[in-house]
Structure 1
Amino acid sequence: MTTVGLPTAVPFLDLTAEHERVRPELDAAWTAVLAHGRFVGGPEVAAFEQEFGAFVGTGGCVGVGNGTDALELILAALGIGRGCEVIVPTNTFVATAEAVRAVGATPRFVDVRPGDLLVDPAAVAAAVGPRTAAVVAVHLFGQVADMPALAAVADRHGLALVEDAAQAHGARRDGVRAGAAGVAAAFSFYPGKNLGALGDGGAVTSRDADLLARVRRLADHGRDPHDRHLHRTSGRNSRLDTLQAAALRPRLRRLDVDNEARRQVVARYAERLPARCRLLDVDPRSEPVHHLAVVRVDRRDEVGAALGAAGIGWGVHYPVPCHRQPAFRTGHHAPVLPVAEAAARRILSLPCFPAMTPAQVDRVADVLAGATRDTDPPPDDGAAIRPVVTAPRSTP
């Protein structure tokens, strides 16, 4: 996250305010964990897993160390590894691709839709090849990807449809929560998320009890559930610790209320932002939770400088698409994915958090109006730029 202009009159994110609202509950949770001393595997972990699984709608949940681990453990539990390809939208945080690489598979990057910058199902369908094993649907910025269309592609080709829901806690599409539409979903509880811990944390949700059992074993050193001294497979150490689970529980109880507050913030942005600052589209079938309030602007560096000079925090998510990152480029030429590449030059993330006031939103909008006054009207991105649909890669 990029922030500038400290101290900020309008912070990009105000975690202090978020935690103060549940401070008595956090203090009580801390005291309870100190009293029983079970800092790993304490009763709060099982309680949170049950509560979060019920919230998502899967019933099943396994707490893990962080969101990247969650996605890696899902892929490993599905048997995806060396020789496999996994389709990933290029417009995502690199952790999505890192998890694919960590199990020995190859990420196959595809473009996104112009309006909402979520993975394009047509591009996914065109990218399926003989080694494709899974598709990762990234619910970016707090909006659920087009899961029905992606599920149709996955079902047609016998692929696992995995959700990266790290930015979409509580979001819905067609009434289904993020994390309940694919074979399994990965969540991050990094402090800045809609549901954030006081450090790192993550979870896997699924309706498949056997898959969750494999995830739990892999996350606990491959330990046999009936004999803790017997390790039937080589696993790793990735567990949600008791203190983080205890801290997440009171925030989970407030999550729907907090997400509604974020929707009100973005609704006010929609009313107050200048015409040259365009918010991303929201699908009418979607109930977003606005993890980020993303706009497109021209001359982003100048606009960002104006925000910083006015004491307003801002960010860019993300300035370099994954397929352009040195760590993930293969050969001499990266694929051409024009929608994501064009968006990466213009997107800018505005302050958005549940405690944000209307006056703070208005302040941001006023500064943006001045900063964009001399820029050209925004282009019709949806008409001017279309995803490139490529043929499947042949087996080498």
Structure 2
Amino acid sequence: MNLDLTEDDVAFRDQVRDFLDAALPPDLQEAGRRASSVFMDKTYSLAWQRILHERGWVAPSWPVEYGGPGWTEMQRYIFAAECARAGAPSLAPMGLKMVGPVIMGFGTPEQKAHYLPRILSGEDYWCQGYSEPGAGSDLGALQLQAVQDGDHYVLNGTKIWTTHAHWANRMFCLVRTRREGKPQAGITFLLLEMASPGVTVRPIITLAGEHEVNQVFFDNVRVPLSGRVGEENQGWTVAKYLLEFERGGGAAAGLRVTLERLVRLASQEQADDGGRLVDEPAFRRRLGQATISLDAIDMTERRVMAALSAGVPPGPASSMLKIQSTELMQQFDELFLLGAAHYGSPYQPEARRAGSTVAPIGPEHSLMAQARYLNNRAASIYGGSNEIQRDILAHRTLGL
């Protein structure tokens, strides 16, 4: 794999930089810097999505026929890296990176024509109805019941840890349509409207004091059969396809920028011996180990992106990337806390908000350290816990 930038790549990078300089407003940059999670506040993510949509750059990995820009693997990597360096807010992945590819792969022509343009524009804002109180990593145990009644399914049950359900107008959801036989063989994939009668959303406040996730209750909620993606009782196949995209990489560029920020911080902060933190042996060793891990993730992501560009799903590699990228992110969070020292301890959610006039306690770089550490503890659990990902690798790659 040739990792050197060609003249065309350099020209594209400069084009992206010029666009970001002109189109990314300061308030969205501030929101990007002060994000404590991979999921950005809807106000900022949608504002940035609309800017990118107008430019035709909102879905770098989508095929041209569905509204994608037709970029090469390297161009997608360059764009992600430059957005991360510029501090652009992240876009909500549930539509663009998760249900969008599923609709392309399994949806009817009518579903593609209706939903894909609305995902690109942000008109539809999605949440993911997978986990339940008794079915998280063991997703095959889900119990949300869907019973066919004429040309509708009637849903009763609950979903939990539903990110941004309080903002979403759409949900893609796994439901149980059959109880006989193997549990995975009785699951169906549905698209539904969050404004449907009988849907109730209740907030769950995180350790960082933020409202990001929810529990969603379904009380005789009617969903048209036209909302089904794929065949009835074949939702497990659709769900596995989606999870490959949810777990399948795209983190290296942002992690690279995080590493650069961490090195700058450690070069400014003082260690216990009076020298620079970056020169303290134990810190430097951990920083070196993290750098090696990031290089490995970067190379694997590029191989996966090359496969995707050839129409090949990421497969088990997505599980490997999910493990490595989430655990590396948590390692970076720990190193940032070391750099923040006692300034990482104060609980100051008001100062963390973009546009806040509340002065932070301590330097700016310490403001988000604790919140990111707390929020990102969930990263090795959501999307399928890392223990489950290791089981997948053992089964599908090693044949164990």
What TM-score range do you get, normalising by the shorter chain? under 0.3
Comparing both structures, which one devotes a greater share of its residues to helix? 2
